[in-house]
Every structure is written in C-alpha cells, then in structure tokens.
Amino acid sequence: MQEEAVTRADETEPTGGDLGALGDALDSHDYPATTTELVEAYGEYDIEIRDGEQTLADVLASGDDELYDSADDARSEILNRIV
C-alpha cells in the first residue's frame, strides 16, 4: 500500500489553473468566445496531462461548441476535461 503512495506522489498532475503559454493566450483573448474560435486560435497549444501532452484541439474535440464569457470560464472547461 505504501509503495502505491510513493508512486502516486511522483506523478505530475496539472496545477490549479496553470496552462502556461495557453493560459496567457486565453487571458489576452476577446470574450465572449466559442469553443470553435478558441480551437481556431490556439488549437495547436500543448497541454500537459497525466499521460503526456494533448493539444487544445484534442482536449476540446469531444464537447459541444460552447460560449465562454471569460478566460476563467474557458480555463475551467479545459481543466475539467483534462482531470
């Protein structure tokens, strides 16, 4: 049991809201914005996930075209999908 705890402690998980360069780009984007608009603008940005990296386009591909009122709304949706 303790071995599992040590292994899990070594895993990298997304930090609370820190998306690096993508986070900065989202902050500077004009809102409201749709999922499609964000993917067109930033879809190639890489996001660290538990098992490696995915692009923003891949992360948002499975959902509907939503409307985000702010960078915080967009960030929350992205983080919810990668956790």
- Reported as a single tens digit per residue, the pLDDT across 8-51 is 444 444 444 579 899 999 999 999 999 999 999 999 999 998 88
Q: Minimal CA–CA distance to 50: which of 42, 59, 41, 60? A: 59
- Pairwise CA distance, residues 75 & 24, whole Å: 11
Q: Per-residue pLDDT tens for 61-82?
A: 988 999 999 999 999 999 999 8
Give the CA distances from residue 41 to residues 26, 34, 38, 47, in Å, rounded to whole numbers and listed in that order.
10, 11, 5, 15
- Pairwise CA distance, residues 7 & 76, whole Å: 27
